[in-house]
Amino acid sequence: MKHLLTLPYYKEVWKDIKGYEGLYQVSNFGRVKSLERKVKKWDGFRTMPETILKPKVQNNGYLTVMLYKNGKGKTIAIHRLVAEAFIPNPHNHPTVDHINRIRTDNREENLRWAPMKLQAKNRINRDQFNRKDESKPILQYTLDMVFVMEYPSINEAERLTGIDHVCIIRCCKGKYKSAGGYIWKYKEKGT
């Protein structure tokens, strides 16, 4: 189990967006930028500086950006841009899944190509539990009940350990004896 301070340093990497080469790039952190370029205006050309685009949250919870080419704009989901640029899709899966179920977390490490069946399963798992369960502080123990670490939330425990948050919740609720080789408990007030 790696402690937060010992996790490796991740470097932001930028790649061209397919179909928008020389105009826009996407990073492995889920950011999108417009590259510096000359734009024709009525009175000549103007240099447009490189700019990080501000994403818009759609009604479905996904982040999107508007990309322009040849005077036409197109709204594109950021998680799809990240997946297409950084994640191989050898099985040609049609959808991009947010591993931690947070639709605004578009980091490369949080995304994977998935079949529709997996997406539906994640939706069921997400809807099965109350959101309050995911935000409670939790404690991690070895199978011998030796304290390992405290996490501010189940989502953070999943992010740092790679253990599915649904399994952690089930362990905290007593439905599973352990999850990922550990015992998990909600932190009680005063402990």
User: pLDDT of 116-163, one tens digit each?
Assistant: 766 555 554 444 445 555 678 999 999 999 999 998 888 888 878 888
* 151: number of Cβ within 10 Å: 22
User: pLDDT of 65-124, one tens digit each?
Assistant: 999 998 899 999 999 999 999 999 988 989 998 888 888 999 998 899 988 766 555 554
Q: What's the whole-model pTM score?
A: 0.59
What would the mean pLDDT of 54-70 be, rounded to a whole number? 91
User: pLDDT of 27-40, one tens digit each?
Assistant: 999 999 999 988 88
131-186: what fold?
Arc Repressor Mutant, subunit A (1.10.10)
Q: Any idea which architecture 14-90 has in CATH? A: Alpha-Beta Complex (3.90)
- State the pLDDT confidence band at 176, using cuts at 50, 70 and 90: confident
Of 152, 123, 157, nearest in space to 137 by CA = 152
Residue ranges of the domains in the chain?
14-90, 131-186
For residue 83, the one-letter residue type is A
How many Å apart are CA 139 and CA 148, to the nearest integer? 8
Q: Token pair 């417009």 is at which residue? A: 34
